Structure 1
Amino acid sequence: MKRPILIPPCSGWIEDFHPPLTSSNVAPSPTLLSANYQDDTYLELSRHSISARELLFVLALATIPVLILITYAVVDSVIYSLYNLMLAGILTLLVGIWQTALFLRAASIPPRDEPIRFNRAHQKIYAYNFNFCWWNPFIPWPIKIVSYDWKDVRAERWRKQAVTHQGSHLVKTGIMLSIVEPGTNKVIDRFPLNNEYGEASIWAYVCTYMQHGLSAVPPAPLNRDHNDLLWCQFAMRLAPKVKWPEAIDHESRTAPQTAPLAQVASP
């Protein structure tokens, strides 16, 4: 039976993939990749922590009239001293406000994309991480941009099950990237590579690209511009655009600059 290598393992751990600087027996495949850009210097993959933004936005707007009606009912219960009804109404109102705020923020606050860049020239990764708290929509949900050495990156496959209202089991799987302290298996940071597919071919593709370059992998199909929105993406229009810090943006897209050789003066 396989046991986790990393300390601690990710939630829903299934297996550890091979370390980044070792070979894999899985063929690299771009089939399940969602790529924004690729050349021989860096590969940028797209990620999304929130899906169905438009649906969440519509549900939030539809809840607002209901909240207004509940508010009137609470006021009436106070006037007529219907305290049991008042307590039930206040509780329902608080839950409705929480849900509406959560849906509105989840639809509009996350950035339009949460890219991660693999720069093979620097042998580093750069992640545009969005952190949200599903149970508290009233606190800031920050963006944290991080950079780590490629040799310190590890990948884990995870799988989670949830029971739907109909009693069926919903299975989700994905790949988690974990950053370890150099020379150890102790995890110091963790963020997703993929929240939809946990296939080893995805990790094999990234590793092969980082080790051997563009010529060693099939080209990845590229996404359309995330800022080129369709008319129906009304919630996405409220979301902020991706904005890397200028210095990190330049470093993550370019190769290291070679310093010119110093000229030796003639005797």
Structure 2
Amino acid sequence: MKRPTLTPPCSGWKEDFNLPSEPTKIEPSPGLLNANYQDSIYLEISRHSIFMRELLLLLALASIPVLILSIYTLIDTVAHRQHELFLIVVIATLTGIWQAASFIRAILLTPRDEPIRFNRVRQKIYAYNFNFCWWNPFIPWPIKIVSYDWKDVRAERWRKQAVTHQGSHLVKTGIMLSIVEPGTNKVIDRFPLNNEYGEASIWAYVCTYMQHGLSAVPPAPLNRDHNDILWCQFAMRLAPEVKWPKKIDHESRTAPQAIPPVKVALS
């Protein structure tokens, strides 16, 4: 039986993938990748903390009148001294405040994208991480931009199962990137590579690109620019744009001595 090698393993751990310097066991495939950019110097992969933003915006708008009604009912209950209803109305009001705050903050604070850049020439990764807490909308949700050596990156596949209200089983899987203390298996940081698919082909593609370069992998399908927004994407217009710090932005996109990049030939 396989056992995790990292301390601690990621939540829902199922498998450790190969080390960054090891040959991959399967063919690299770009089929499940969401890439923003790719050339001979770096590969940028897109990530998202929330999906279906437009639906979330509708829920946020719907929660506002419900919250107003709850507050009005609370005031009316106190005014008429309806003690038997007071606790129920207070709970309903607090729930409404929590729900409205969660939806609105998710819409207004979650960036349009949370990319990771894999710089092959520097052998480093740069992650634009957004840290949110879905059950507590009243604490800071910061953006934390980090950079690590590629040799200290580890990849784990996770799998989680939940039971829906209808009794069916919902299975989610993904790939977690863990950063270890050099020369150890002790994890010092952790963030997702992919929250939708736990396929080894994703990690194999990244590893092959970082080990052998652009010519060793098929071109990844490129996303639309996340700032090029369609007229109907109202929720996305409210989301913050991705803003890398100037120094990190330059470093993550360039080689140490400005080696000219070889761009992907798109068909």
TM category, shorter: over 0.9
Indicate if the aligned counterparts of 2:67 and 2:100 stay in contact, CA closer than 8 A: no
Residue 103 of structure 1 deviates from its aligned partner by: 0.8
> 1:64-103 maps to which residues of 2 (within 5 A)?
64-103=64-103
Instruction: Note if 1:39 corresponds to 2:39.
Output: yes
Decide whether the 8 Å contact of 1:26 with 1:200 is kept in 2: yes
Question: SS of the residue aligned with 2:162?
Answer: strand
Q: C-alpha distance in 2, partners of 1:169/1:146?
A: 35
CA deviation after TM superposition for structure 1 residue 164, in Å: 0.8
| Count of equivalent residues | 258
Per the TM alignment, residue 60 of structure 1 is displaced from its structure 2 partner at its CA by 1.4
Return structure 1 stretches of 4+ with deviation > 2 angstroms: none
2:61 paired with 1:61: yes
Please report how far the alpha carbon of residue 136 of structure 1 lies from its aligned counterpart in structure 2 after TM superposition.
1.1
CA deviation profile, 1:72-94 (whole Å, cap 9, x unmatched): 22222212211121221111000
The superposition leaves residues 148-188 of structure 1 with CA deviations (integer Å, 9 ceiling, x where unpaired) of: 00000000000001111111111100000000011110000
Contact 1:119 1:253 in 2 (8 A): yes
- Report the CA distance between 1:56 and its aligned residue: 1.2
TM-score normalised over the length of structure 2: 0.95
- Residue 197 of structure 1 corresponds to 197
CA distance in 1, matches of 2:107, 2:142: 15
Residue identity in the other structure for 1:16: D
Asked if structure 1 preserves the Cα contact closer than 8 Å seen for 2:42 and 2:117, the reply is: yes
**Could you tell me how far apart the structure 1 residues matched to 2:110 and 2:131 are?**
9
- CA deviation vs aligned residue, 1:8-55 (integer Å, no higher than 9, x gap): 000000000000000012100000000000000000000001111111
Alpha-carbon distance between aligned partners in 2 of 1:70 and 1:236, rounded to the nearest angstrom: 29
Q: What letter is aligned with 1:138?
A: F
| Larger CA deviation: 155-164 vs 56-65 | 56-65
For residue 183 of structure 2, what is the amino acid of its counterpart? G
Question: Is this contact kept in 2: 1:54–1:107, CA < 8 A?
Answer: no
Measured after TM superposition, the shift of residue 245 of structure 1 is 0.6
- After superposition, residues 215-254 of structure 1 pair within 5 angstroms as 215-254=215-254
Given that residues 176 and 192 in structure 2 are in contact (C-alpha distance below 8 angstroms), is that contact kept between their aligned partners in structure 1?
yes
Deviation at 1:108, TM superposition (A): 2.1
* SS of residue in 2 equivalent to 1:62: helix
1:121 is aligned to 121
CA displacement at 1:134 relative to structure 2:
0.8
Unaligned runs of 5+ in 1: 259-267
Post-superposition Cα deviations, 1:208-259, rounded to whole Å, max 9, x if no partner, equal 000000000000000001011112211111111001111110110000128x
What residue identity is the alignment partner of 2:53?
R
CA RMSD of the aligned region, Å? 0.9
Structure number with greater Rg is 1
Q: Which residue of 1 aligns with 2:8?
A: 8
| C-alpha distance in 2 between matches for 1:237 and 1:248 | 25
Query: Matched residue of 1:137: which SS?
Result: coil
Instruction: Output the amino acid matched with 2:135.
Output: W
Question: For the Cα contact (< 8 Å) 1:108–1:236, is it kept in 2?
Answer: no
| 3-state DSSP of counterpart to 1:92 | helix
Map 1:104-143 to 2 at 5 A: 104-143=104-143
User: Identity of counterpart residues, as a percentage?
Assistant: 78
